[in-house]
């Protein structure tokens, strides 16, 4: 116990004081090993290493956080949906921990404000929000164990965001939905994705989707996946009534 108090006292002094206070306010409990949280907000572009010469950034913590988040959500769904199948539980967990949802969580908590990087924030990409959120969960687990990790996820994810009836109707991949519908209805599905940067400094991709040789929608974004989802969403709204009644 004295060892733990020593760590807290050391963490609360000097250059770490502001960060320590910010973490305590965010987490609603006292961090013990503040270096875990510092690592959770360190981007690989800084090329930092720890005392052992190992990379000092959020990526390994992200791996731990992903596992812990999945475990806590799985446990919650198992208890809240006792009559549902494994497939249902897996699908619901995927919706909760989807990259899109994790990015939203990270943005809502403004985690990007703690990130240290050599790259301007607007050039890092949206996934940084979800990656940092998972890294933070990993840091909590390593610092305070499962109980604190479970409570943080419950307070920050489950209580404000998990509504099982709403999630049942949530679409996580418009592209996958359209492909599945076309296969079911024996419709010909074609997607044409190509680079469309033009004079813009940031790379863009454009997408054209055709069904039964008729072009239905276009999409354009900074990644292939985003462009495909954008175009697929427009296809969905074009055929929404037919898809929902099929």
Which of these is catalytic: 62, 134, 228, 229?
134
- The answer to whether residues 112 and 129 touch, using CB atoms and an 8 Å cutoff, is yes
Specify which residues 210 forms β-bridges with: 190, 215
Contact 64, 49 (CB under 8 A): no
Q: How many CA atoms lie within 13 A of 244 on its CB side?
A: 9
| 62 labelled catalytic | no
How many Å apart are CA 207 and CA 228, to the nearest integer? 6
User: Given the structure tokens 């609360």, which residue do they identify?
Assistant: 12
Element at 67 (helix H, strand E): helix 59-80
Name the β-bridge partners of 116: 42
- What are the φ/ψ torsions at residue 23 (nearest 5 degrees)? -65, -40
Structure tokens at 8: 């807290």
Q: Which of 50, 59, 62, 66 is catalytic?
A: 66
Q: 45 to each of 37, 69, 116, 209, how far by Cα in Å?
A: 17, 26, 9, 37
Q: How many residues does the chain have?
A: 246
Alpha carbons within 13 A on the beta-carbon side of 135: 28
Rounded to whole angstroms, the Cα distance separating 65 from 97 reads 11
For this structure, is 66 an active site residue?
yes
Nearest to 88 by CA among 154, 156, 176, 165: 165
Give the catalytic positions in this structure: 66, 134
């Amino acid at each position: 116990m004295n060892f733990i108090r020593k760590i807290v006292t050391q963490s609360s002094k000097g250059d770490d004081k502001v960060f320590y206070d910010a973490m305590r306010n965010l987490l609603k409990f006292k961090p013990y090993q503040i270096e875990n949280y510092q690592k959770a907000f360190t981007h690989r572009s800084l090329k930092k290493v720890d005392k052992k010469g190992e990379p000092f950034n959020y990526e390994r913590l992200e791996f731990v956080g992903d596992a812990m988040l999945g475990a806590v959500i799985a446990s919650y769904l198992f208890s809240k949906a006792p009559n549902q199948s494994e497939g249902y539980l897996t699908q619901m967990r995927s919706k909760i921990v989807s990259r899109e949802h994790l990015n939203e969580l990270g943005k809502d908590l403004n985690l990007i404000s703690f990130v240290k990087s050599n790259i301007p924030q607007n050039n890092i990409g949206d996934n940084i929000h979800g990656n940092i959120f998972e890294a933070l969960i990993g840091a909590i687990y390593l610092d305070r164990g499962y109980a604190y990790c479970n409570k943080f996820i419950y307070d920050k994810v489950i209580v404000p965001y998990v509504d099982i009836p709403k999630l049942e109707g949530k679409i996580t991949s418009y592209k996958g939905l359209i492909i599945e519908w076309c296969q079911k209805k024996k419709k010909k599905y074609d997607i044409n994705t190509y680079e469309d940067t033009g004079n813009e400094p940031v790379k863009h991709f454009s997408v054209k989707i055709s069904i039964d040789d008729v072009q239905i929608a276009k999409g354009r974004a900074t990644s292939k996946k985003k462009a495909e989802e954008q175009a697929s969403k427009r296809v969905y709204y074009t055929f929404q009534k037919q898809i929902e009644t099929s």
